[in-house]
């Protein structure tokens, strides 16, 4: 009987060690919830019914800004690129694409692609776009900007 109790106790301890999240009510190390992951995704602001994002159209984003400090706030930046200089490179700035539109605003704002005045409005045509979710802040007189997430999309001209 004593051996049976020792075996049961050992199995119970092993079960607690093997499944810490179950023993802490679904929480991770130290009983804290696992950290959320920041994300950004293109939201449907009616663009899908018109065939997707396009110059002059409004796009929005669904965002999750996780892990912000009390002095930080989320912002979204939209960057669009074309091959304006004719070098055959259009995609993203690291590949040498030419920036034709950029806007920075709060996550719940509808972004008018091309804005009111941009090189993209002048040139027309399609563009490759990137949207970044940032954490902006000011602490002790120092401005901070952290990149939280990004997404990419194509917009018709």
Place of tokens 């293109």: 42
Convert the pLDDT of each residue in 2-16 to its tens digit: 333 333 343 333 333
CB 61 within 8 A of CB 70: no
- Render pLDDT for 101-112 as a digit per residue (tens, 0 to 9): 999 999 999 999
User: Global pTM?
Assistant: 0.72
């Amino acid at each position: 009987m004593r051996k049976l109790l020792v075996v049961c106790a050992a199995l119970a301890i092993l079960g607690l060690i093997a499944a810490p999240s179950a023993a802490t009510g679904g929480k991770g190390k130290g009983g804290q919830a696992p950290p959320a992951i920041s994300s950004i995704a293109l939201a449907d602001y009616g663009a899908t019914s018109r065939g997707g994002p396009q110059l002059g159209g409004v796009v929005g984003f669904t965002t999750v800004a996780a892990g912000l400090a009390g002095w930080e706030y989320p912002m979204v930046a939209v960057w669009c690129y074309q091959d304006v200089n004719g070098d055959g490179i259009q995609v993203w700035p690291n590949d040498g694409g030419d920036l034709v539109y950029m806007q920075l605003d709060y996550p719940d704002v509808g972004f008018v692609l091309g804005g009111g005045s941009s090189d993209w409005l002048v040139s027309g045509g399609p563009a490759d776009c990137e949207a970044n979710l940032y954490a902006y802040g000011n602490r002790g007189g120092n401005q901070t900007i952290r990149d939280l997430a990004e997404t990419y999309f194509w917009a018709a001209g």
